[in-house]
Amino acid sequence: MKGGDATDLEKLYRVYFMRVFSYMMTLAKDADIAEELTQQTFFKAMSGGYRGEADELTYLCAIAKNLFYDEMRRNKRFTAKSEEHSADIPDKVSDPQTAAEEKDAVLQIHLAVHALSEPYKEVFSLRVFGELSFSQIAKIFGKTESWARVTYHRARLKIKERIRYEDNV
């Protein structure tokens, strides 16, 4: 995207295809649709005006998300697919009390992550939400893979401590 020659574009595709495809799978929940939209994402990115203001993966995921929502508005097949899949998945939470407790637990985790200091917050977020490997996280910070593992582990401990503290207050 930055250079624009065929070699750069092929490299970009090889590096980010699976990550963009995985992201599309979480949105579309259908491999065929996810693959189609991933292909469209790369086509649009390679023919579009990337200005280098955002990380390449962030830029690609933004394009993918917009294509997904555009397709959802145009086509009802996503609704049909999600209804199809939801019929196969048993309803895990039938009790409203349990559902409320689970939402509260998720909120507590997000609040605890938000309260973390750096680099714990970023390492934890990259690992859990960004699904990056420890070696990728280490590369981002210019540190060792061991540093990334230890920092992630310490972040998890800090989150657990905060949640336990909040439960006891």
Cα(148)–Cα(43) distance, integer angstroms? 34
Euclidean distance between the first and the last CA atom of the chain, given in angstroms as a whole number: 51
Coil, strand or helix: which one is 133?
A: coil
Cα(103)–Cα(114) distance, integer angstroms? 16
Q: Tens digit of pLDDT per residue, the chain (169 long)? A: 544 555 566 777 788 888 888 888 888 888 888 888 988 888 888 777 666 666 788 888 888 888 888 888 887 655 544 444 444 434 444 456 666 666 677 777 778 888 888 889 888 888 877 778 888 888 888 999 999 999 999 988 888 888 787 777 6
List the Cα angle 39/56/60 in 5-degree steps.
30
Q: Which domains occur in the chain, in start order?
A: 6-88 (1.10.1740), 96-164 (1.10.10.10)
Cα(159)–Cα(128) distance, integer angstroms? 13
CB 44 within 8 A of CB 63: yes
pLDDT tens, 120-143? 988 888 887 777 888 888 888 899
Burial tier of 9 (Cβ tally within 10 Å: 0-12, 13-18, 19+) = middle
From residue 130, give the alpha-carbon distance in Å to each of 39, 57, 107. Answer: 21, 10, 18
